[in-house]
Structure 1
């Protein structure tokens, strides 16, 4: 039996026993398992398991008689099948590795997005990739441009939670009104922003009230994703606390927790230092 050919078959994912049994079948078939063991040199205790493995992989055939007789899949068909499997695996690897490389690069980079339209387009794209949860903070003015993407996400089972400045009219989402409201925040900061976290794995955050001069960051970098996600989460904590304990909290910190805002007021506005 040709040792070089056995090694070649092993490179095609045959075991040594499978290669020997397949070559024995090519030499003489149809043939019984006993004859295969004798011809191939594979022990009788192993030959039937080896034949079953070849049949399961489509490299051998068995008759339904007594005794059972075995034959090989013709070499041309065997190699054509192996070629199809290899080509399919290469295509999958090409796509998978490209996606992984892109994802790996995105986890290391913070991208700078300029212009309100570009920023909101990036937000829609990210929402389209959401699988589990979308956390979003936005103004009423920008809500219509994200409505369809968010509704589609909710429709495929993604949880959509929004901290809103104004009424976004999102019946498909859990919406928490920010306190204080849009007018007060806009007055304090001089503009408005959008903050998005998708599956706690991807964020878009930035200013959207400066038209073509609007700026935002988009990233999967964990050093940015974690604090941005927690920023939205902490606004949700405050909203829940106010809903459950408003009277007690406002007795200490004033309406809408105004005394806390005065203490930790904005050092910068949308346009820069204030």
Structure 2
């Protein structure tokens, strides 16, 4: 890691960062020309840079044995603590000021998230800015990179509820609920992807689908859509907790016993996923009706026009 680059991110100029690193590395007071030699900062500029650091208490003037003015750095721990305190104070002041000048939203936004990085980055934004609660439905592959910001949000007082797919695991933040309706791989097969839903403060939403070779999703703050997603997450979590507390058995078998339910689950979920992928510019995957229903076109029973349909999903003219 480049210390100079990181110090620049904290607000120091390039020359200031180089001078500070040189002072820390020296381990003893340095006079101006020594600082210039060790830091690579031009001698004509180094004294001005040192004066700026002294003014900000990033460095201090001391008297060397020869009665020359020399310089020592503020201890890194002291500097970082000060920067953290000043940054947090500035953020709080800005939050209060901007809240007072921000008008009530009259326009709501939705936009696509065409890649895994875009989706997870937007999710981190929502998690960091959350103030009341977070509802999350995710597979382990997507939950893992979001755990650090989720943990920080929980530590700051945000309620975190996670419905996870796959094996039960220990979670050091919020409340975790494991899906008991079917194995994770079967659920992913039903939807054609690893389903992902994140609702922040019941006001913002990211919904997405992940596969081994791609991802696609969308963000919105439209109240109607967010409300629907919130209710979906709340009901989903409630169902999993009910199953767990009441030791409901044979739930996976129930999903497979009825062909009508099997067709509804697989046929009704793969199509929206296909549409969402296409809207995000992804490669369209053709799924036939027979494949959706778990049957091939060759062994699918043919029906005459007069024969009543035996499976749900009947099309009607509206």
Between 1:193-202 and 1:160-169, the stretch displaced more is: 160-169
Aligned twin of 2:218 = 217
Indicate the residue corresponding to 1:119 in structure 2.
119
CA shift for structure 1 position 92? 9.8
Aligned to 1:181: 183
In the other structure, the counterpart of 1:205 is 207
Distance verdict in 2 for CA 1:166–1:153, change over 3 Å: same
Indicate how the Cα distance of structure 1 residues 209 and 104 shifts in structure 2: closer, same or farther if over 3 A, else same: farther
Secondary structure of the structure 2 residue equivalent to 1:246: coil
Aligned to 1:231: 232
Q: Displacement, 1:181?
A: 2.6
- 1:96 to partner: Cα distance: 4.3
- State the alpha-carbon separation in 1 of the partners of residues 150 and 243 from structure 2: 26
Give the 3 Å change call, closer, same or farther, for CA 188–157 of structure 1 in structure 2: same
Describe the superposition over 1:199-250 as per-residue Cα deviations: whole angstroms up to 9, x where unpaired: 1111110112265x52212111011101111111111121122123234xx4
Which of the residues 103, 113, 123 maps onto 1:100? 103
Match of 1:69 in 2: none
TM-score (norm 1): 0.56
> How far has the Cα of 1:169 moved from its partner?
4.8
Partner of 1:196: 198
d(CA) in 2 for partners of 1:241 and 1:195?
A: 20
CA distance in 2, matches of 1:233, 1:169: 21
Distance across 1 between alignment mates of 2:183 and 2:221: 30
Unaligned residue ranges in structure 1 (runs of 5+)? 1-90
What is the distance in 2 between the residues matched to 1:182 and 1:104?
Answer: 40
Mapped to 2, the partners of 1:149 and 1:116 lie a distance apart of 17
Distance 2:212 2:101 in 1: 36
The 1-side partners of 2:119 and 2:101 are apart by 25
Q: For residues 256 and 128 of structure 1, what CA distance do their matches in structure 2 show? A: 40
CA RMSD of aligned residues (A): 2.9
Number of aligned residue pairs? 177
Unaligned runs of 5+ in 2: 1-93, 276-286, 293-318
- SS state of the match for residue 265, structure 2? coil
Check 1:258–1:136 CA distance in 2 against 1; reply closer, same or farther (3 A cut).
farther
Q: Which has the larger radius of gyration?
A: 1
Q: Which has the higher helix share?
A: 1
